[in-house]
Amino acid sequence: MRRLFPVTDLTAADAPREWSLDDLADVYAYPGTDGPWLRANMVSTLDGAAQHDGRSQPISCESDMRIFGTLRGLADVVIAGAETVRLEGYRPARAREAFAARRAAAGQGPAPAVAVVSGSLDLDFSLPLFVSPLVPTLVLTGAGAPPDRISAARKAGADVVIAGEGSRVDPVRAVRELADRGLRRLLTEGGPRLLGQFVASGVLDELCLTVAPLLTAGDAQRIAGGPAVTVPKRFALASLLEEDGFLFSRYRRS
């Protein structure tokens, strides 16, 4: 892997080399802000597909998965839409030795919590994600979610957080509710329908986007869906890594 931006040293530091998880954790460290910081991590093909055959794995690669793991290793909470949880078979986040010291120094527990955003609560609450995580899984939903499903979530051990009226979660309120629980280093892994709402509501601070050197055509979703914003949101490039033609970019809100 090599760093293309920012260019620090055209010789040694930016030459292709093995990047340890520690090196990646340095590059992807959260900024030292007091308030919440919401980062998204997504992968896209050259022609904008966010999945192939309904999954993101076919458009990912080993280095992308290492960055995926690093971002989890730095986060307080991983936020995912219910469809991604259902289709990608989400499991609890693991405690990883590689990030243990860094997490302890940052006052974090051994693994991030997972927060599932769902209005229907049509989730299998018997899965390990709900019954045997290291840190209780959060379920973000609206006040009007089906009461029997709220009870089922709580019975399984999930921490149900009401963050909206009706069955909908308000993205701004979701971020605030998480921050109120001390969860400030936020990481969303999509999917596109959820990310579109974070973008539209103006709460997304950072996008870690892997561009895969693949073309798929077809009608796959883009990384963010839903209604377009009135004025495109401007982000600035913060870092860019490359390996085997995959680009690992990080953009921050300008």
Residues that bind ligand NAP (CB under 6 A): 42-43, 50-51, 54-56, 81-84, 87-88, 117-120, 122, 168-169, 189-194, 197, 221, 223, 225
CA 100 to chain CA centroid, nearest Å: 20
Nearer to ligand NAP, 30 or 198 (CB): 198
Angstrom distance (rounded) from CA 81 to CA 65? 19
Instruction: Please state the closest distance from residue 164 (CB atom) to ligand NAP, in A.
Output: 6
Q: Would you state the structure tokens that stand for residue 49, as one six-digit string?
A: 């597909």
Nearer to ligand NAP, 102 or 168 (CB): 168
Residue in 253, 240, 177, 252 with CA at minimum distance from that of residue 1: 240
Strand partners, 241: 3, 248
Nearer to ligand NAP, 83 or 242 (CB): 83
Instruction: Please state the closest distance from residue 226 (CB atom) to ligand NAP, in A.
Output: 9
Nearer to ligand NAP, 50 or 183 (CB): 50
Instruction: Please state the closest distance from residue 145 (CB atom) to ligand NAP, in A.
Output: 8
Ranked by CB distance to ligand NAP, the top (closest) residue is 191
Phi and psi of 173, rounded to 5°? -65, -35
Strands (E), the chain: 2-5, 37-45, 77-81, 113-117, 138-141, 159-162, 185-188, 206-212, 235-243, 246-253
Instruction: Please state the closest distance from residue 120 (CB atom) to ligand NAP, in A.
Output: 4
